[in-house]
Amino acid sequence: MWFLVAEHLRLGSWDLVKGLTDGGDNDISPRFAMQLINEASLCKNRVRSDNFINSQGFELLNGMSVLASDNHIHNLLNEHTVEQAIALQDALAVIRNNRGHYSSNAIAIDPHRIITTSSRTMQMKKKQPNQPAKKVLQSFFANDSITGQPLACGIGSPGKNTAKATLELLDRVKMIKPNSLIIGDKEHFGKALIDDIKNNYDFEFLVPVISSKKLRTIEHSIEYKRLWAGYAIAETTYSFSSSKEKYRLVVQREGETLETYVYKSFLTLSNKPAQELIAERYDERWSIEEFFNFDGAMGFDRASTFNLNIRYNKMSLALIAQAANYEFRKKLPSPFKTWNAQHLSDAVFRNIDGDIRTKDDTIIVTCYNAPKEFNLQENYQNLPQKLAAEGIDPRVPWLYNFKLDFRFK
């Protein structure tokens, strides 16, 4: 886990958590927040005294001599508002954009359901068709469609439906990626949402159309242009019921005979060629599903409470952990950089023996069995000099301005 200290320095994580907690360099509350961030990188809900024996040195990593208790963490998260959590996310997104984490001009959005153990009375839903219905917390994510990295996330509630939550998410996306192509899914197909995006935003928009008798009639009656064997595309206009507004409808047809035809229709606010939108850009949307599979264990696949202050703040801190993991993973050679968060935690963050000592103004972490193929020595030995060369102060403020360096044996 000590390798991630360097990545938090590069990201400015300490300033972000100080802004969230209203704390200073010598205060305890931002160190509690750092514990939550590092727990997310370990893919653990909490590190407590009863499971601490396998995480020795973890409290030092956060600049403390003890672990934060459940009460400390509850109070920390509950005392800070949804607005503060969103401000942290927005500041992190600016930093990540400057560091090149978002390389696409397309943003995938997705309403992601998280199983929750909340005692609140909630509607039971199936996360997957073949699974039993459970209580779920509806979250909303906006991710770069190439790198899969998140720009922002939000949470649904009884007072916030999909359309309202999506518009709030887009208000934040436009500060980082204005004029982007927004790629949604069927839950974003609705007159109110699409009208609002068209009239109040500069985004392009691409969303699958929910099948209906009206749509099926259109799909079977329009003329298609065959692009290659088994694939054809057609275009027409589409209007919602009781509306005169006409939208561009693009339909793809797969199959070679009438009996084998399969149709898929999309409504779009984009002027890009139909083939580019459907055959090329829409598939980029699966990067957001890969994100949930890849990094979900960091805190995006579980929710013990529906207290919005707690959920927003915990997910926002997990976004900092995910950004640090992304910076760390980029330094690993293939195939290790393709490991998911849980595998990375098990194989690297919890699988290297070492010791911690101080010498003058530097904390020295000695690693005894770090696999050479990870290239950790190349990236982290002589760390103060490497950080200084990048224009980054090598002193670690939550470790009381000690520098950090590594030795490998």
The string of DSSP letters for 274-327 reads HHIIIIIIGGGGHHHHHHHHHHGGGTTS-BS---HHHHHHHHHHHHHHHHHHHH
Average pLDDT score over residue span 130-154: 91
**Which pLDDT score, from 0 to 100, does residue 306 have?**
83
**156 confidence band (pLDDT: 50, 70, 90):** confident
The answer on pLDDT for 51 being more than 70 is no
| Tokens encoding 366 | 């000695």
Report the relative pairing of strands 247-254 and 403-408 from DSSP bridges.
unpaired
Average pLDDT score over residue span 184-197: 95
| Tokens encoding 164 | 């309202």
The answer on pLDDT for 358 being more than 90 is yes
**Which pLDDT score, from 0 to 100, does residue 137 have?**
85
CB 224 within 8 A of CB 253: yes
Closest by alpha carbon to 354, among 376, 336, 325?
376
Per DSSP, the three-state class of 247 is strand
The string of pLDDT tens digits covering residues 294-338 is 999 999 988 888 899 999 999 999 999 999 999 999 999 999 999
**161 confidence band (pLDDT: 50, 70, 90):** confident
CB 239 within 8 A of CB 228: no
Backbone angles phi, psi at 281, to 5 degrees: -75, -40
Task: Report the predicted TM-score, pTM, of the whole model to 2 decimal places.
Answer: 0.93
**Which pLDDT score, from 0 to 100, does residue 48 have?**
77
For the chain, the first-to-last Cα distance in angstroms comes to 17
**Which pLDDT score, from 0 to 100, does residue 328 have?**
97
CB 204 within 8 A of CB 270: yes
Q: What is the chain's mean pLDDT, rounded?
A: 93
The answer on pLDDT for 52 being more than 70 is no
Burial code (b: 16+ CB inside 10 Å, e: under 16) for 75-108 equals ebbeebeeebbbebbeebbebbbeeebbebebbb
